[in-house]
Structure 1
């Protein structure tokens, strides 16, 4: 069984960043909206570019990226259809976005590095790339549709640099170009910055939230999708594909299915102005629940899958 203590390090680090964001909003009156814009249009693309170049993409690894992109998109589209008649448009759009993603990076990666060998961590990283690509394409479009027209939503996606960063990284790797060492060294600061600011935005948003913003129905829907639908999907995939999967790949899929909600739910909601305070509350609740639920989920699912 997985020791809950394994998850406490990542959890306390993330919560410390959230607390810093709360203090920045409450004591310094810091506006999180420009930070969200900075994350989406500058820090995330450079982080994504660096990770893909360093990972050395191969056709097999990129197939994992494509598979996770397709899975995340399908989950989001399904939840978007189901949520339309149950929630107001903005909450429905936010729920649909969150349905396709999870905290695979800030929270899941440290856990993966403890549970998996180096080859397994590499598999996990290329799966994360697929989820991130979903966030800034299909996910961003679904979120934008909660407030904007189809045309305006598509224009917003075309302005997102992360897609172009992905294509640039593929060109660089495919043609065998060597990115100058000083450039790669300079990019080393971006992953940590991405994590820090991404979690601080949750705290900044919570610093402006009143109890009136607590939406039981919305939060229950988020929890049901993240800790209900996703674990079921992951377990079904592992059992169904077991003859084709290595033990490491099976554990990667199970871990992807049990991480808490993504901090980028708040980042994207902040950028588009679609109920970021409700997203922040849901993200915080699922993050706090993660150290209790993830060991139980992973141990039980691994047992059911015969791992």
Structure 2
């Protein structure tokens, strides 16, 4: 079976979850605001803590979340400052958030399991914490900034439990504290819940979408440019420089992880944060949906061009 059809088969459940999310709001009248809060304040902290405490950390691995967190934050801040006056509403805030990240968790983790050996997939999951941390610190601040003052936005960031879950998990890891096996099985189940609810929230955001109002071609184009041109271009440039000049990472497995991060679709966390911060989510949802569909073709092509995993 070709790579394209393998990928299509593997990601079919993700699209089913989008449909279920839409139906849960449309038919069952589930409150998407409650699901968004559940993801940010309960599910994500448990996933971050259990992953951080479990992985074996060495220098090359430890530097990657720092690299991606700084890169995500730098990109978001630059994009926000460039485009903050291009829209009268909070569209520039969502654009900046999206430019700084990708769907590394809900979409990327299944892809990592599909393409990589288990130990490389574990590396992916650990490094992916940088994207979660970005989304709950710099990214949260940028989206909150549209409705709140700097002080209020910073207070909201430091109230997020994921910040403290990461710190606690890292300290436990460094001091050799482990989760008991019985509890580890329990916390591991949250990763599945994280993926399912994360894609369902995308479908929930589709309810109320109106094409005439939410089809912002400029917004869509810029999102696609930063995700599908800027991100892979910058990552490939870094890999080339590291291979030929600085030899800072010099690890083919980590290169593969970095490249996969650069080609995942636009993050649907922007939809979640738009809901949490009272920003109209429909425009962001429509763009994420287009990106997710586009990735069915884009991802196999990019992997072939890279030389395969």
TM band (smaller chain): over 0.9
Per the normalisation by structure 2, the TM-score is 0.92
Q: Specify which of 273, 285, 289 is matched with residue 284 of structure 1.
A: 289
Range with bigger deviation, 113-122 or 260-269: 113-122
Change (3 A) 1:302 1:74: farther
Per the normalisation by structure 1, the TM-score is 0.93
Superposition map of 1:116-155 within 5 A:
116-155=116-155
Change (3 A) 1:192 1:107: same
- SS of equivalent to 2:128: helix
CA distance, structure 2, for counterparts of residue 14 and residue 40 of structure 1: 19
Instruction: Give the aligned partner of residue 233 of structure 1.
Output: 234
- Could you list the structure 1 runs, at least 4 aligned residues long, displaced by more than 4 angstroms after superposition: none
Instruction: Give the aligned partner of residue 72 of structure 2.
Output: 72
Q: Mind listing any 5+ residue stretches in structure 2 that lack a counterpart? A: none
Give the number of aligned pairs.
303
Distance apart, 1:296 and its partner CA: 1.6
Instruction: Give the aligned partner of residue 158 of structure 2.
Output: 158
Range with bigger deviation, 20-29 or 52-61: 52-61
Q: Specify which of 290, 294, 300 is matched with residue 295 of structure 1.
A: 300
- SS of equivalent to 1:76: helix
Per-residue CA shift, 1:189-248, capped at 9, x if unaligned?
211111111111111110221222222221222111111211111111111112422222
1:213 correspondence with 2:218: no
Distance apart, 1:150 and its partner CA: 0.3
Instruction: Give the aligned partner of residue 84 of structure 1.
Output: 84
- SS of equivalent to 2:179: coil
8 Å contact from structure 1 (residues 120, 248) kept in 2: yes
CA distance, structure 1, for counterparts of residue 268 and residue 10 of structure 2: 14
Q: Mind listing any 5+ residue stretches in structure 1 that lack a counterpart? A: none
CA RMSD in angstroms, aligned pairs only: 1.8
CA distance, structure 1, for counterparts of residue 179 and residue 236 of structure 2: 39
8 Å contact from structure 2 (residues 54, 178) kept in 1: no
1:23 correspondence with 2:60: no
